[in-house]
A and B are shown apart, each in its own frame.
Chain A
Amino acid sequence: MAGMDGVEIHGVHEGMLIDQFAIALSTRERTSTEEILRGRLRFATEIVKEIKKKVGKDFPVGLRFSIKSYIRDWNQGGLPDEEFKEKGRDTEEGLEAAKILEEAGYDALDADAGSFEACIGPSHLFIKSMALSSLSRKTKESGEDSCNRFG
């Protein structure tokens, strides 16, 4: 693409549009079997399949990805150090989603956590440095490439 080495899809990330399809809170499906999770991730998986079909499987396609949403409720966030019931995507589902996304063809997950819903994201500086590194590490240990922008 105009000399670009690859593309990154934004994303199953921060509760933005593609993530709204993926998170149970913002869909009609409130349960979470693997089949339903695959259905919620279909927008994201169809995109990578379409790109690879048009461009070839060797063209790198990454995905901006939130492992965990930190959503306490609509427009209310939880913080990494406090106890709250996660209403968005929790870590366990995030790691399961990571495998489905890799299987669909994504070459890398550019991982962080948070959402607009929760007012937590890469731009919110009140979170301590490297607060999300353990999540990023978990994603990497589950076999995905990931990076952490909180360095």
Chain B
Amino acid sequence: MFDPSIIWASVLNGLTTGAIYALIALGLTLIYGVLHIVNFAHGSALMVAMYGVYFLFVKAHVDPYMALPLMIAAMFAFGYLLQRVVIARAARGNEQSVLLVTLGISIVLTNLALFAFKSDTNTIDTPYSLQTVDILGAAIALPKVVAFFGALAVAALLLVLINWTSLGRAIRAVSREQRGARVVGIDVERIYALSFGIGLACLGAAACFLLPAYYVNPQVGDDFVLIAFTIVVLGGMGSFMGALWGGLIIGVVESLGGLWFGDSLGQMGIFLLFVAVLAFRPQGMFGRKGA
């Protein structure tokens, strides 16, 4: 078997990736919880954000971490407009139309990127890209450590926003009981667009934390999207704590699975887990039965 120190390092690496997964899944679960939409364009929106960070660094020499406020704002605006202009108009209360439209958006975004940037894989080279931090004997890349704490900080901010602000109260009201929220004077359409914007803003933050240690290409969203779906389903659709814990668990499972079975089988494990969870516990680990 493996040396305990390798397993320890693998667990830590899994946790750092898992925190990013959690951030991505939080956006997805927020959108699902409020709009009752499975956003199939989530992965390609992440890809768009990652290209944003990449070009800010390459063309304008903006450090990915400095780009954080800009990317969060830009992705928020993108999400807000996407929901207002396209998704809301297609919806007409029909789940199938929304599914097809988000799928269409994802096809357009991915292939526009393919057309514009070819399928080349790009990385950025920051001064700290190769630095490592020693955590109880395991050397972890500095960007991953930053990503872990950064992602958790953004997640905490999101939870504060949802639980302790008036906007958050409105969002929770709409997600619980859309008609009731309308009756008490909440502008439901605005909350829809804001929630979609916040969901994509999470991706803007995730992209800033990802890029110093990861790569970007037009298909990069695909690597994350099914994992994010798995987490959201595992944690219970619409559950925030579920998405957070689900993300961390999946990160560690993937990392250890890759260690024992190799990368491609480790990936397969996630999809198998996904299908199994959908089949046997579609309400998720943290979700309510029948929810």
| A and B co-occur in one complex | no
Task: Spell out A's residues near B (CB within 8 Å).
Answer: none
Task: Spell out B's residues near A (CB within 8 Å).
Answer: none
